[in-house]
């Protein structure tokens, strides 16, 4: 007979809990789709897929309340029909009567742990990926709302957009024709670096191995560089191609428990830290460029730079001394040579030469000014064909000792291993110190974020079983009260538990300390204490 009663009670509980969970999840999941639908980010077939993906994460919150509500209804009906009283009269102790409740609570704990640590992160990433998958829809929606569309370090504004699928004469999957365009490229610190304006532009989207790559071409464009205050009008301008990766930014909430521990062991590989790693990579490249030029001058070798504008080589073949101050090389009595693609060369001598370093368009560049140029070998131009001012000279890649493909851990290790005293440029030395400090701060915040998320998930998983037990015990204790009244009494500490879990998580993510752990677990302590108090009264009855 006790086994029959156990199966009966467990069956009733499961049916009610599952039905309640289904209703709650359906309502909440459809609610999550309202915002992307209102922003025109989901198509017809994507709506059901998005709701399905959203259903699993919503169970993290719906399942505990559904368990508490279902247990309250079932146990209150059994108590009000005197079935619980009959079980006690037949010799069953409260512990034996509530054995199915405790068993379901243990199963619910395992289900909740599986949800929050594995399934929910996976489906969060599916939801984000679905929203970010169709870049053309995101851009078109942003244009319709009059907002900027962000892609990496590029911000794009447009008055109108026309979408062309599989355009003729191109390998692109999709082409967007933009009208009235303004594009802004930012540097690693978020400062505007280059600004493009154009009457029209084409944006080609390529999908390769699950990745999305965007190529923007502006027609009849005006270009402004903030670094050197250059304003240029070009028939066509092509900003750097943008690799959007898999289409969304991976967040900590999308990491499963094993992935979290792997990221904690090697945080520099986390995509969210790619920006700070790229900043360090840029500084290392800049430092390597500076060291290569300084070494050429110190050894008396010819310094060779490439003139990108004219596709020519520019060289300092002789000089009488070099000084360096504030990112500027000052060369005394230089002999300068320009080699054109057709093989012709021109030489000039100057009283001095100013070689100033800048960082533009993802590379270290140099602006040159040659003072008092005099032609060598009787050149009639008076400057040997060498322009007295040249911008955007770059060091040839074969002269640069720098591995641009180094892994993030290798980049960080190399940056930390550089002796600050060996960096001649004071501004570059300050940038290195700031970059390393910024990266260390982001790594620390990432680790704190992961630790806080782990504690939040554990506390969230424990709330479900406690609410199940509390609703069951209160339903028997308050059998003369309406079941909704009983559930409201159990609902209040559950809501307080969620608030405390969220608040404790924020404290732990800001800085882990004892107070944060106390806050995040205090809600479950309150729920557990309420369960014990109600259980002691039940045993007394």
The CATH number of whichever domain residue 220 belongs to comes to 2.60.450
pLDDT computed for residue 311 by the predictor:
77
Looking from the CA of 347 toward its CB, the CA atoms found within 13 Å total 9
Quickly state the pLDDT bin for 38 (edges 50, 70, 90).
low
Least confident span in 76-80, 336-340, 433-437, 475-479 = 336-340
Domain boundary among 245, 266, 288: 245
Give the per-residue pLDDT at 144.
73
Say whether both 465 and 513 belong to one domain: yes
pLDDT confidence bin for 90, thresholds 50/70/90:
confident
Residues 6+ apart with CB under 8 A from 283: 415, 428, 431, 432, 435
What is the average per-residue pLDDT within 108-129?
89
Task: Identify whether the C-beta of residue 339 lies closer than 8 Å to the C-beta of residue 355.
Answer: no
Residue 485 and residue 510 share a domain: yes
Of the spans 133-142, 161-170, 249-258, 482-491, which averages the highest pLDDT?
Answer: 482-491
Work out how many domains the chain is built from and give that number.
3
Residue 250 domain-assigned (yes or no) = no
Compare 282 and 108 and report the one with higher pLDDT.
Answer: 108
263 belongs to a structural domain:
no
| Whether 30 contacts 51, CB under 8 Å | yes
| pLDDT category of residue 460 using cuts at 50, 70 and 90 | very high
And the tokens for 50?
């998005």
Residues 467-486: tens digit of each pLDDT: 999 999 999 999 889 998 99
**Mean predicted confidence (pLDDT) in 206-231:** 70
Can you say whether the dihedral through the CA atoms of 245, 401, 194, 235 is positive or negative? negative
Q: Are residues 11 and 124 in the same domain?
A: yes
93 and 158 in a single domain? The answer is: no
Sheet harboring 352-360: ordered strands across? 322-325, 328-332, 352-360, 363-371, 389-394, 303-307, 312-318, 335-339, 345-349, 374-375
Helix (H) or strand (E) holding 170: none
Alpha carbon distances (Å) from 198 to 153, 183, 222, 237 = 19, 9, 6, 9
CA separation for the pair 395, 318 (Å, rounded): 18
Cα separation, 168 vs 174, whole angstroms:
10
330-to-178, 290, 304, 324, 375 alpha-carbon distances in Å: 46, 14, 16, 6, 20
Same domain, 40 and 113: yes
Q: What's the CA gap between 387 and 406, in Å, rounded?
A: 37
- Residues of the domain holding 162: 144-245
Q: Minimum mean pLDDT among 139-143, 171-175, 205-209: which range?
A: 205-209
Tell me whether residue 380 is in a domain.
Answer: yes
Share of the chain above pLDDT 70, in %: 87
CA distance 399 to 359: 18
> DSSP character for 301?
P
Q: What is the pLDDT of residue 247?
A: 47
The predicted-structure confidence for 369-418, as pLDDT tens digits, reads as follows: 999 888 886 444 444 567 788 888 888 877 777 787 888 899 999 999 99
Compute the average pLDDT of residues 281-293: 88
For the chain, percent of residues with pLDDT exceeding 90: 37
Do residue 154 and residue 236 come from a single domain? yes
In a domain, 288, yes or no: no
- 450 and 354 in a single domain? The answer is no
**Where does the pLDDT of residue 432 fall: very low under 50, low under 70, confident under 90, or very high at 90 and above?**
very high
Contacts of 532 (CB under 8 A, 6+ apart): none
- Identify the CA nearest to 438 among candidates 412, 464, 403, 477: 412
pLDDT value at 39 more than 90: no
Looking at 393, 410, 430, the residue that finishes a domain is 393
Q: Which residues contact 184 (CB under 8 A, 6 or more apart)?
A: 154, 155, 156, 192, 194, 195, 196
Distance CA 154, CA 159 (A): 17
Say which range, 231-240, 299-308, 348-357, has the weakest mean pLDDT.
Answer: 231-240
Read off the pLDDT of each residue in 70-88 and give the average, rounded to a whole number.
90
User: What pLDDT was estimated at residue 50?
Assistant: 79
Given 393, 408, 430, the domain boundary residue is 393
540 has pLDDT over 60: no
- For residues 237-250, give the mean pLDDT: 61
On whether the CB atoms of residues 94 and 88 are closer than 8 A, the answer is: yes
Q: What is the residue-averaged pLDDT of the chain?
A: 84
Within-domain flag for 460: yes
Work out the average pLDDT over 442-454: 94
Q: Are residues 16 and 54 both part of a single domain?
A: yes
d(CA 78, CA 466): 20
* Residue 335, beta-bridge partner list: 318, 349
SS3 480: coil
Radius of gyration of the chain (CA): 34
Does one domain contain both 107 and 202?
A: no
Is residue 436 included in any domain, yes or no?
Answer: no
Say which residues have a Cβ less than 8 Å from residue 59's Cβ, sequence separation at least 6. Answer: 21, 25, 115, 120
Residue 521 placed within a domain? yes
Q: Which spans in 300-386 are helix H? A: none
- Tell me the mean pLDDT in the region 251-261: 91
pLDDT at 325 over 80: yes
pTM above 0.95, yes or no: no
DSSP-assigned letter for residue 162: E
- Clarify whether residues 124 and 90 are in a common domain: yes
Higher-pLDDT residue of 154 and 463 is 463
Q: Is 254 helix (H, G, I), strand (E, B) or coil?
A: helix
Instruction: For residue 159, tell me if it sits in a domain.
Output: yes
Q: Which residue has the tokens 């026309």?
A: 162
Does 29 share its domain with 95? yes
Residue 129 above 70 pLDDT? Answer: no
Residues 113 and 231 in one domain: no
Helix locations, 186-273, DSSP H: 257-265
């Amino acid at each position: 007979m006790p086994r029959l009663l156990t199966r009966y009670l467990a069956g009733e509980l499961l049916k009610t809990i599952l039905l309640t969970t289904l209703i709650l999840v359906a309502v909440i999941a459809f609610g999550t789709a309202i915002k992307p639908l209102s922003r025109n980010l989901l198509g017809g077939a994507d709506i059901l897929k998005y709701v399905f993906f959203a259903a699993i994460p919503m169970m993290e919150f719906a399942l505990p309340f559904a368990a508490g509500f279902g247990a309250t209804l079932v146990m209150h009906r059994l108590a009000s029909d005197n079935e619980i009283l009959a079980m006690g009269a037949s010799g069953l102790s409260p512990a034996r009567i509530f054995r199915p409740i405790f068993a379901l609570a243990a199963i619910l704990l395992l289900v909740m742990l599986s949800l929050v640590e594995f399934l929910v992160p996976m489906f969060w990433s599916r939801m984000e990926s679905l929203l970010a998958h169709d870049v053309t829809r995101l851009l078109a929606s942003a244009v319709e709302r009059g907002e900027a569309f962000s892609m990496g370090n590029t911000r794009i504004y447009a008055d109108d957009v026309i979408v062309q699928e599989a355009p003729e004469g191109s390998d692109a999957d999709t082409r967007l024709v933009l009208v009235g365009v303004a594009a802004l490229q930012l540097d690693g610190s978020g400062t505007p670096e280059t600004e493009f304006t154009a009457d029209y532009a084409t944006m080609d989207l390529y999908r390769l191995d699950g990745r999305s790559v965007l190529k923007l071409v502006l027609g009849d464009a005006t270009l402004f560089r903030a670094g050197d205050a250059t304003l240029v009008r070009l028939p066509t301008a092509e900003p750097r191609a943008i690799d959007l990766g898999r289409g969304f930014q991976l967040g900590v909430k999308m990491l499963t428990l094993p992935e979290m521990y792997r990221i904690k062991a090697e945080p520099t590989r986390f995509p969210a830290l790619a920006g700070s790693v790229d900043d360090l990579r840029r500084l290392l490249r800049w430092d390597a460029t500076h060291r290569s030029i300084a070494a050429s001058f110190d050894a008396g070798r010819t310094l060779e730079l490439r003139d990108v504008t004219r596709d020519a080589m520019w060289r300092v073949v002789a000089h009488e001394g070099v000084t360096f101050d504030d990112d500027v090389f000052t060369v005394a009595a230089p002999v300068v040579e320009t080699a054109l693609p057709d093989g012709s060369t021109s030489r000039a001598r100057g009283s001095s030469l100013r070689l100033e370093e800048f960082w533009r368009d993802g590379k270290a560049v140099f602006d040159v000014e040659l003072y008092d140029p005099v032609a060598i070998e009787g050149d009639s131009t008076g400057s040997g064909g060498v322009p007295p001012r040249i911008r955007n000279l770059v060091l040839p890649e074969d002269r640069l000792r720098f591995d641009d493909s180094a892994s993030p851990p290798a980049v960080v290790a190399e940056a930390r291993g550089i002796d600050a005293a060996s960096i001649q440029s004071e501004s570059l030395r300050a940038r290195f110190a700031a970059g390393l400090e910024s990266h260390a701060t982001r790594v620390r915040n990432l680790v704190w974020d992961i630790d806080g998320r782990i504690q939040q998930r554990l506390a969230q998983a424990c709330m479900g079983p406690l609410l199940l037990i509390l609703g069951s015990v209160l339903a028997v204790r308050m059998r003369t009260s309406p079941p909704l009244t009983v559930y409201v009494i159990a609902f209040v500490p559950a809501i307080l538990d969620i608030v405390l879990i969220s608040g404790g998580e924020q404290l732990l993510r800001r800085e882990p300390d004892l107070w944060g752990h106390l806050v995040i677990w205090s809600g479950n302590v309150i729920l557990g204490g309420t369960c014990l108090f109600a259980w002691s009264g039940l045993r007394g009855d």
